[in-house]
Structure formats: structure tokens, C-alpha cells
């Protein structure tokens, strides 16, 4: 199995996706909106960086199984800095799974992934940073020798002598 990794950094404030806030009713249906006011800006930053990375990849958008590894970097509160902690895991909100959800959708928006459903393995971490920048280091590793379901079905049709679409 061949592996190819694309890595890039995104500066900004990581924002979660998936928590909804109730905004009222319209036409008898509840109106829900994303709770994070920073989500659009964060997804835009990730999508922009993904678009730049995709422009350097001849096979983008990737339509194969991928592993997504994200290191989220948050500014450490001043109180913790005085305690002498360096880079340590972040154990508070936002939830890691909701941060990853925003990144997966942004990678699709940025045309690096054909679909965020192609993510088959996750390796993610949240960290406090004493110095340096905040944002994320994103690694997308392609499993290039594994055919997708669509490719498998096409191969089966060709082996059976069936025309496409039947």
C-alpha cells in the first residue's frame, strides 16, 4: 500500500462545528444556527490553505481513503504560563470531534478531498501553546493503492461485460 502525505499549516482560531443554537421558529419549524461565531472564518482559512495545497497536487481532489491528522494549537491562558507548563494537552472545550468536523468539511470545500467521507482514520490532538502561533497543522495521508467503492464497481462491471449505468 502506497502512502503520500500533504501537510500544511493554518493560522487562526480553531472553531468547532456541530453545536447548534435555537433562534426561534419560521413556518412552524425551529431555526437552528451554528453556535460558534468564529466557524465561518476558521473554515474559510482552512479551505483557503487546502485550495493552495490542492493546486500543488495533480491528483486533487483526492477520491481515495485518507488519514487525517490535525494538531490544534490554542493560546495558553496567562495563569497556566506562570505555572511553567510548556506544550501540554488541552482538556477543555471545544470538543476535539467538533473541531475535526469543521476541518473535514473545509478540506472538501477547499477541493483537497472529493468528500470528507474519504477520511477513514483520524489522529488528532489539542494543545496549549505558550509561544508561537495558534491554528492547526494538518496532514492528509493518501492510501493510494486502495480502490474506492466507485472504482471497484466499475472494475466489476468491466469484468462482467456490462455497459456503464446498467
Residue 162 lies in a domain: no
Residue 116 lies in a domain: yes
Cα end-to-end span (Å), the chain: 31
User: Residue 52 is part of a domain; what is its CATH number?
Assistant: 3.30.1330.70
Q: What's the structural domain count of the chain? A: 1
Residue 151 lies in a domain: no
Eight-class DSSP state of 144: T
Residue 27 lies in a domain: no
| pLDDT, tens digit, 9 for 90 and up, residues 110-165 | 999 999 999 999 999 888 776 778 999 999 999 876 665 665 656 666 676 655 55
Distance CA 139, CA 62 (A): 13
Domain ranges, residue 101: 3-19+33-145
Element (H, E) at 66: strand 66-75
Rg (CA), the chain: 20
Amino acid at each position: 500500500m502506497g502512502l503520500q502525505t500533504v501537510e500544511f499549516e493554518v493560522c487562526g482560531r480553531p472553531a468547532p462545528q456541530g453545536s447548534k443554537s435555537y433562534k426561534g421558529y419560521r413556518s412552524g419549524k425551529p431555526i437552528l444556527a451554528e453556535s460558534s461565531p468564529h466557524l465561518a472564518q476558521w473554515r474559510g482559512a482552512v479551505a483557503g490553505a487546502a485550495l493552495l495545497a490542492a493546486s500543488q497536487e495533480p491528483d486533487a481532489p483526492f477520491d481515495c481513503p485518507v488519514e487525517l491528522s490535525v494538531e490544534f494549537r490554542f493560546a495558553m491562558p496567562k495563569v497556566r504560563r506562570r505555572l511553567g507548563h510548556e506544550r501540554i494537552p488541552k482538556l477543555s472545550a471545544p470538543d476535539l470531534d467538533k473541531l475535526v468536523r469543521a476541518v473535514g468539511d473545509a478540506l472538501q470545500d477547499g477541493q483537497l478531498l472529493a468528500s470528507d467521507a474519504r477520511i477513514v482514520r483520524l489522529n488528532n490532538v489539542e494543545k496549549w501553546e505558550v509561544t508561537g502561533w495558534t491554528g492547526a497543522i494538518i496532514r492528509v495521508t493518501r492510501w493510494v493503492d486502495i480502490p474506492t467503492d466507485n472504482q471497484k464497481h466499475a472494475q466489476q462491471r468491466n469484468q462482467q461485460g456490462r455497459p456503464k449505468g446498467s
